[in-house]
Structure 1
Amino acid sequence: MAPRRRRPGRVASLRSRPQAQRRFSQAGGENARRVGQVYGSPRTPQQMAAAKAATIERLRMRYRHMRDRRWAGYRGYGAWFDQPINNAKLAATSVYGEQVPAFLRLFDLCSGDYPRFYASVRRIADKPSRGEALKAAESCD
């Protein structure tokens, strides 16, 4: 078997992943707010559809710019952007991004112990206001 050759571009791409994850979550929330502003504006349905399409196209352009210039070609979100983008997809991305810090904090409270973390998440998921319960968690147990 031939030895694996190092690919510097691939290493740089992998190192860019945490930054890409943060920026992707931020961009989803920003775009969900922008689309909400489009719908809240005094426009005709045709104008709203055009403004929404332009907002989504700007998101795609920002993604390509970040991918090519800041993330060393990291393409981890390419499939997301290759599919149609609608309000539900933007909202889900926004909610996910908002919850990541709370999940990371809970994971730290669980001392990085995955079984304890998963058990804690299951307990929180059973609560009626799980978003607030996740943010208010003071221990893993």
Structure 2
Amino acid sequence: MTRLYRLFFALPCLAVLMGCASPLYYLQAIQGQADIFAKSRPVEDWLADPATPPEAKRHLVLAQQLREFASRELLLPDNQSYRAYADLERPYVLWNVFAVPELMLKAKQWCFVVAGCVPYRGYFVKNNADKFAATLKQEGYDVYVGGVQAYSTLGWFDDPLLNTFIHRGEAELAGLLFHELAHQKLYVKGDSSFNESFATAVEIEGVKRWFQRNGAIEAAEAYIEKIQRRDEFAALVETYRTRLSEIYQSNSGAAEKRAAKAQTFADLRRDYGSLKTKWGGYAAFDSWFAQDLNNAHLAAIGVYNQYVTAFQALFREHAGDFTAFYRAVEVLARLPQADRHAALEILSTSKS
């Protein structure tokens, strides 16, 4: 009866979450979330089921250990999220659609009652995401459809573990759980760069502490190296985002801007090749560069990395104390957005 109750409860709540979205979009969101609820079972049930593969059981046990660590050591919400598991029988839980004008870098926004305005729109069925992206492309937008392995309902529902991410490596699984629980800890309506950067900073510090606690020095070092490479990738993209911004704001004609845009993306690919050589052939970002890159791809990268260094500086200012850190973040969250971002910019240059 509990699961059935949750399914009925999801309908009015999701209506509130989706706000003024179109009826069809609202309907697919309800159906997608209801499908996840219907397929969710407590982790204990999966572990007791002889049909559950041993490898899946191993990952589920690890996920529960990470879940307890997140609440006990990182002071993240201690609730029922990630204590159940669902096999959706697909590689992604949903697909986000990003859209940016052809000769601009400001991403199109979609606004919802609880989440506020965000630079993407999510679909639980890829075909629906592709159709929406095609419509935006016809309107002249650069578009990008990206698969999402996990997302947070911001504490409105108990988010389950999913087959879309449970088989990740230990560091990646830890990072994902810490990241999504951080969204439940604190979320500022309509400020994606703040929310994602905060969650990413918590993710990074959380994974470091997980490995430090377990004495896995080599694993911790490998994770730190991976994060450094992710930062270098983000910095490379940001360099070319700045270059494109200058091109788009110039007095050149549209044809000249398009030619300069194409050359800029070609240069970005070339410099990634150099970066990859420096990394000894590390190829984690090859799939991103294998796409037909456009402005929308840049928007998807920027959301997650813009203020990570600022939050890391704030964490250092509070001597690694999560209680004090969260209090400081809550102070920032109460500021008007312009003041909040100005404060984060200052923190980004902090050497403390």
TM-score by length of 2: 0.30
Aligned counterpart, 1:133? 343
Compared with structure 1, are the counterparts of its residues 118 and 77 closer, same or farther at alpha carbon in structure 2 (3 Å cutoff)? farther
Show CA shifts across 1:63-88 (max 9, x none).
12211x11122233334434454335
* Structure with more of its chain in strand, by fraction: 2
Between the aligned partners of 1:119 and 1:91, the Cα distance in structure 2 is 29
Letter of the 1:26 partner, please give it.
A
What secondary structure, in the 3-state scheme, does the structure 2 residue paired with 1:60 have? helix
Output the CA distance in 2 between the equivalents of 1:82 and 1:35: 20
54-63 or 125-134, which moves further after superposition?
Answer: 125-134
**Alpha-carbon contact 1:19-1:71 (below 8 Å) kept:** no
Residue 53 of structure 1 deviates from its aligned partner by 1.4
Q: 1:25 aligns with which of 229, 234, 257?
A: 234
Equivalent residue for 1:8? none
Structure 2 segments unaligned to the other structure (5+ residues): 1-220, 348-352
Taking the aligned partners of 1:135 and 1:35, their CA distance within structure 2 comes to: 21
Q: CA deviation at 1:27?
A: 1.6
Whether contact under 8 Å (1:106, 1:117) holds in the other structure is yes
Q: Could you tell me how far 1:60 is from its partner in structure 2?
A: 1.6
My pick for the range that moved more, 56-65 or 69-78, is 69-78
Give the greater-gyration-radius structure (CA): 2
The alpha-carbon distance between structure 1 residues 125 and 53, as it changes in their structure 2 partners (threshold 3 A), is farther
Deviations, residues 69-120 of structure 1 (Å, cap 9, x unaligned): 1112223333443445433543665576552332211111232234543443
> Paired residue for 1:109?
317
Q: 1:33 & 1:135 partners in 2: Cα distance? A: 16
Aligned pairs for 1:56-135 (under 5 A) are: 56-67=265-276, 69-87=277-295, 89-90=297-298, 93=301, 99-128=307-336, 129-135=339-345
Across the two proteins, how many residue pairs are aligned to each other?
A: 125
Cα distance in 1 for residues equivalent to 2:244 and 2:264: 7
Q: Aligned partners of 1:82, 1:59: CA distance in 2, in Å? A: 12
* Distance (Å, rounded) in 1 between the aligned partners of 2:344 and 2:303: 13
For 2:227 and 2:325, locate their aligned partners in 1 and report how far apart those are by CA, in whole Å: 21
Q: Distance in 2 between matches of 1:111 and 1:80?
A: 36
Give the deviation of 1:59 after TM superposition. Answer: 0.6
- The answer to whether 1:38 aligns with 2:238 is no
The higher-RCO structure (CA 8 Å, 6+ apart) is 1
